[in-house]
A and B are shown apart, each in its own frame.
Chain A
């Protein structure tokens, strides 16, 4: 199965940091077109393209931009969320390191749409080795008049600043990211107000994921019809899928939205490594649904996966073989979420801790049926009352694993923990 390389078209080109090389390979053609439009036209184009956010929420990109466009005030901001922290995801790292100009181009076009003069790229600390690449690319763009005052001779001025994260997954959440840039703890804000009216520094802000931004230049270079010809009706375009876990071939692959999950696992990634069998798949990262092998024959686009009870999210596909235990995986995700919880709201701060205690109790063979009911109850409460996506997502692996792998839970309830969960007592 051959990839459809749009965003990764320049992956193997040397020296893409140099703006001249980027332009030789189509860089900034989209921006040139966008500079001839007014804000409303840019937004209309994005609306017609059907581009939806690639960071996880799948929100229509044009709508986010329209909120900021409609907001009052003359000082507006564009932010690139390069805090890629969802476990199992490396697509944004690939884009940032192999085609940084595509990101700047997307940001500039969004800036043009809302009349923003400033952009910020919030880069996670774990990718600090990418800072030199990005700073060099920014310098290169400025020297060629692509960033700074009067871009390419137009009356639009726009420049981009780098900002660093410091190891907090929650700062991938929009408003927590703003708090972090503002020199505070990365705690999400209550909404409303939404970032479109009150965002970074209290200004109307559009925040987009790296991959979302990378799509914008090509849309303005090649047109709406071209973009809509790829992917599916509800999710046009391509998607970068990061495949990890117990497969032969791991990595980031670009395919049209709607490509079948089973095909990606078996045809692209060579199926399960080491002579084992498939146990489970988790799509969307640590916050994704854990599904059975019988459930993997689905098209990977935003609406299809959502209607099957899961979440495409950032396009992470985590493959788990049968040398593992689903409860052990759930425990791992709960350890992750409790460590990363910012602590601001009780549902997440306490709920996560209690879920972790319960999964440990059950997996070590000390649990009862009531504990499973409690986990479901807690999970549903968290989903409805947590302040941000972290708290809403923590219960997803819990609820889906209980629904899809009840036999695993029951086995551990029968005082028969597996060797993965209880090495000393394991009977597996």
Chain B
């Protein structure tokens, strides 16, 4: 399976931070979502060593932590780029030209959907409806929303991000 071929070593200082976050919620399985979301911001990936620390500090099994992470699209075992580009592929965006926008973006970054650029700056995924259909076709880059896109506007937008001119 894809993930078992993947291994990543997290820096000890990051693991200490993970332990600090997770230790606040020992015995609080219902806080796992909050912990994972916070941890995901400070480690490159939710690798085995990270999961082991979370499991130990919260009193959960490592199996449970992985079971949780692998279920949700926003949580990732694999590292993701600095900019997570989510391109809506649901029907309301689809009928307004989402495919052309997607093709433009993947072409500009030189990667396929699901991949990360070699410099680790961009990860590109399709996603279901973002709830901003009045400006379809729409995408999100991290927490920011961009809509009313066409290939030209998409090109300009990605250029700005590539130049870190946001």
* Interface residue ranges, A against B (CB under 8 Å): 84-90, 92-93, 124-129, 163-169, 180-186, 201, 242, 244-246, 250-252, 282, 286, 318, 320-321, 324, 329, 332-333, 335-336, 339-340, 342
Contacts and interface: CB of A to CB of B under 8 A. Distances in A.
Interface of B: 28-34, 36-37, 60, 64, 67-68, 71-75, 89-92, 94-96, 127-134, 136, 140, 143-145
Contacts of A320: 91, 95
B98 to A, nearest CB: 10
13 contacts: A85-B129, A93-B131, A124-B131, A164-B34, A164-B37, A167-B72, A168-B73, A181-B33, A184-B68, A320-B95, A321-B95, A329-B95, A332-B91
A129 B95 contact: no
B68 A336 contact: no
Contacts of B67: 184-185
Contact of B74 (A125, A201, A321, A340): A125
A304 B71 CA distance: 38
B143 A128 contact: yes
Given A88-B129, A93-B131, A246-B95, A182 B136 contact: no
A244 B133 contact: yes
A321 B64 CA distance: 46
A124 B130 CA distance: 10
Q: Which 3 pairs across A and B sit closest by C-beta, in order of nearness?
A: A167-B73, A166-B72, A183-B32
Contact of A166 (B37, B140, B143, B144): B37
B30 A181 contact: yes
Contacts, number: 123
A43 B145 CA distance: 40
Max chain B C-beta neighbours (<10 A), residue from A125, A126, A127: A126
Max chain A C-beta neighbours (<10 A), residue from B34, B94, B145: B94
Given A85-B129, A86-B129, A250-B136, A166 B73 contact: yes
A183 B33 contact: yes
Contacts of A332: 89-91, 94
A122 B88 CA distance: 22
Contacts of A185: 67-68, 71
B9 to A, nearest CB: 25
Contacts of B136: 244, 250
B74 A167 contact: yes
A339 to B, nearest CB: 7
Max chain A C-beta neighbours (<10 A), residue from B28, B91, B128, B143: B91
Nearest to A84: B131
A135 to B, nearest CB: 13
A130 to B, nearest CB: 10
A184 B60 CA distance: 11
A164 B91 CA distance: 25
A286 B90 contact: yes
Contact of B75 (A93, A163, A166, A245): A166
Given A87-B92, A90-B134, A339 B128 contact: yes
A126 B95 contact: no
A129 B39 CA distance: 18
A166 B131 contact: no
B140 A183 contact: no
A318 B74 contact: no
Given A90-B134, A166-B75, A185-B71, A244 B128 contact: no
Contact of B134 (A85, A126, A163, A250): A250
Nearest to A273: B96
A339 B33 CA distance: 21
B33 A87 contact: no
B74 A183 contact: no
Given A87-B128, A245-B92, 8 more contacts: A85-B131, A88-B133, A129-B143, A166-B72, A166-B73, A184-B29, A244-B92, A321-B95
Given A201-B30, A245-B95, A167 B127 contact: yes
Contacts of B92: 87-88, 244-245, 318
